[in-house]
Structure 1
Amino acid sequence: MNYPHLLGNSKVKWVDTEWLEDNLDNNLTIFDVQPDIHDYIKEHIHNAFYFNEWFLREMQGNNPARYIPHDAISTIFGKLGIRNDKPILFYTGKGSYSKKGDGWGQTMAAYSLVRFGHENVHILDGGIDKWKKEERGLTKVFPTVEESEFEAEVHDEYQIEYGEFKNIKDNDDVVVLDARPFKYYAGPSLWSKEGHIPGAKSLQAAAIMNPKNRQLLKPKDEIKSLVEEREVTPDKTVICYCGTGREATNLFLVFKWYLDYPDVRLYEGSITEWTQRDDNPTVTGPSPY
């Protein structure tokens, strides 16, 4: 891949460790999204602030994973010093202290930033694990936040609500992708109903990542091959979902700003919302229907 990887006016760009090292002291705000604050305390990249992705969502109604109100987002992002006119970079890792990293923290954070109005977001391809493997510098020093006035601007065009999703999911020009591990797609899982939403195809978020590093994308030709196998073509509306709308942010960002698909949506309610409706069926086994 040539870095930074961007497409036209792409709001999300993938950059490599060399690019980041060259830009550490430039006009760039860096956020560490490792799974536990103790991972950050133990080691982080120079000038990186800690970003706790878990404060972004809360229980609303019978859905435990809805975004907090946008005015609260504005306050929190302002406290973190996020500015619309300054580029942002996110990275995560397995967590040298917690060992809990699944790789999705940086895509969840990046999606959330563009969803609430930021237009210049970077993702460190390979995360801090690749950075460490290359023996680049780490620190225990915490930079000082300069608070900002961030005004969230909600971009609802990136997500799809339950009602619209249910109405269009079976249309010929729509393809629905389940980003969860295949064992959850096909059978028993954490949710009250087994299997997947009828019509959904399985494309695990992890399948497009390097198996030795969940933060590192596979080569583009390998990703395209996985997509072509599932007949996910650019002329269709692509709707991604997972358990709570977090894991699927990886698919959303890749389709939207890496493969340059024109119409990509994230069903944020995902299987958690779907299975709370008594009349909604699910399908077990390897086939969509």
Structure 2
Amino acid sequence: MEEKMFTSGGMERLQAMSDRQNVPYPRGDGKVKLVTADWLADHINDTDLRIVDVQPDVHDYIQEHIPGAVYLTEGILRVSNRGFPTSYSPTGCIQESFRRAGIEADSPVVVYTGKGAFSGRGEGLGQTMMAYSLAKYGHNMVYILDGGIDHWKSAGGELSQEFPDVEPSSFTAEPREEYAIRYDEFRRIKDNDDVVVLDARPAKVYEGQGPWRMRGHIPGAISLPWRSLMDDGNPALLKPNADLDIMLEEHGVDRTRTVICTCGTGREATNEFVLLKWLYLYPNVRLYEGSFTEWSAYPDNPVVEGPEPRAARAEAALPR
């Protein structure tokens, strides 16, 4: 397939398609990689491997989990700060949580979630949220189980109700601030020609049906719902690379530009950040952790309703 059939970066994504057959994927020294159920079955007894279960309810974990997995709820990651509801928890609290889970910064950690067998809840985002947060706070070898526990079960993987004997680790949290983009910088650069802003929320929320006091989306943001990137039957399983390639091309997600991933609270956007930064190796990817919740907290910020990213941009940007 020739390069001229693609926007810039097409051949790199073709290489990613080929590399995905080799796990952990992709090759190289990226902080986050993808592994399969077969790979985990082959390595489940590795002495340095830690498996982290982030199913949506602790009762899901109690009822069934992958052998050796320790439960670590993603709820430890964020807490209200000065009234803002989705701030990251203090670094010391996150560090202690990772230590209690026996996580070492330079030993592989496999993260998975799924639709809870007890609660019936779970949409797959827990594993990208936890993977991003592990890397953000200094972990160097995070593996996401493609398809989560549901794919593990469909592949015949063993389940357990045993709780592992875990010794606390000496994990030291060292935040990598370069992953995130803060409000002031986001506001300053978001409309630059060399920047593309993605909105990972469902299309109906992007268009104006969300719960925020201001409805719609950030002017200029392109709607790319995170769920559209995932298997129809399993929201923790990425679609084949060929399908992902087409969607990225159609949305103009060009690796020559800075890509800023946004959503409602910074959680859905971790799915696209992980995909673009670590699996497709885009050189300039940022995550706006405050996302629409922070943007809409400023009453003077413009918003756009409807399906078009820029239809009302000029009008919305006018002084009021």
With the length of structure 2 as denominator, give the TM-score of the two structures: 0.89
CA contact (8 A) 2:102 2:166 kept: yes
Q: Distance in 1 between matches of 2:76 and 2:28?
A: 32
User: Higher strand share goes to which structure?
Assistant: 1
- 5 Å-filtered alignment, 1:161-200, equals 161-200=182-221
User: Which digits, 9 at most, give the CA deviation of each residue in 1:39-70, with x for residues without a partner?
Assistant: 00000001000011011101112320010111
Q: Distance in 2 between matches of 1:7 and 1:234?
A: 18
The equivalent residue for 1:221 is 242
CA contact (8 A) 1:81 1:147 kept: yes
Shift of 1:135: 2.3
User: Which digits, 9 at most, give the CA deviation of each residue in 1:103-134, with x for residues without a partner?
Assistant: 00000000000000111000000110011112
| 1:268 paired residue among 283, 286, 289 | 289
User: Which digits, 9 at most, give the CA deviation of each residue in 1:230-274, with x for residues without a partner?
Assistant: 111101000001111011100000000111100000000011111
The equivalent residue for 2:13 is none
Structure 1, 67-76 or 38-47: larger mean CA deviation: 67-76
The equivalent residue for 2:314 is none
RMSD: 0.9
Q: Distance in 1 between matches of 2:286 and 2:114?
A: 26
Q: Distance in 2 between matches of 1:32 and 1:104?
A: 13
User: Which digits, 9 at most, give the CA deviation of each residue in 1:168-227, with x for residues without a partner?
Assistant: 000000000000000000122111111100000001111110010001010111111101
Q: Distance in 2 between matches of 1:215 and 1:116?
A: 23
Structure 1 letter corresponding to 2:28: G
Structure 1, 75-84 or 172-181: larger mean CA deviation: 75-84
- 5 Å-filtered alignment, 1:206-285, equals 206-285=227-306
Shift of 1:7: 3.5
Structure 2 letter corresponding to 1:8: G
**1:25 and 2:45 aligned:** yes
The equivalent residue for 1:140 is 161
- Where structure 1 has 5 or more consecutive residues not aligned to the other structure, the ranges are none
- Structure number with bigger Rg: 2
Q: Distance in 2 between matches of 1:195 and 1:211?
A: 25
**1:11 and 2:35 aligned:** no
Q: Report the secondary structure of 2:121's partner residue.
A: coil
Structure 2 letter corresponding to 1:269: G
CA contact (8 A) 1:7 1:260 kept: no
The share of aligned pairs that are identical, in percent, is 52
| 2:128 paired residue among 107, 120, 128 | 107
Structure 1 letter corresponding to 2:260: I
CA contact (8 A) 1:104 1:246 kept: yes
CA contact (8 A) 1:7 1:257 kept: no
**1:40 and 2:61 aligned:** yes
Structure 1 letter corresponding to 2:41: E
CA contact (8 A) 2:180 2:288 kept: yes
With the length of structure 1 as denominator, give the TM-score of the two structures: 0.98
Q: Report the secondary structure of 2:61's partner residue.
A: helix
Q: Distance in 2 between matches of 1:140 and 1:223?
A: 36
Q: Report the secondary structure of 2:236's partner residue.
A: strand
Runs of 4+ in 1 over 4 A off after TM superposition: none
Q: Distance in 1 between matches of 2:237 and 2:80?
A: 31
Q: Distance in 2 between matches of 1:138 and 1:188?
A: 40
Structure 1 letter corresponding to 2:167: E
Structure 2 letter corresponding to 1:14: L
Q: Report the secondary structure of 1:216's partner residue.
A: coil
CA contact (8 A) 2:76 2:94 kept: no
Q: Distance in 1 between matches of 2:63 and 2:93?
A: 29
Structure 2 letter corresponding to 1:103: G
Structure 2 letter corresponding to 1:39: D
- Where structure 2 has 5 or more consecutive residues not aligned to the other structure, the ranges are 1-19, 311-320
| 1:50 paired residue among 62, 71, 76 | 71
Q: Distance in 2 between matches of 1:72 and 1:47?
A: 24
Q: Distance in 1 between matches of 2:173 and 2:24?
A: 26
CA contact (8 A) 1:7 1:258 kept: no
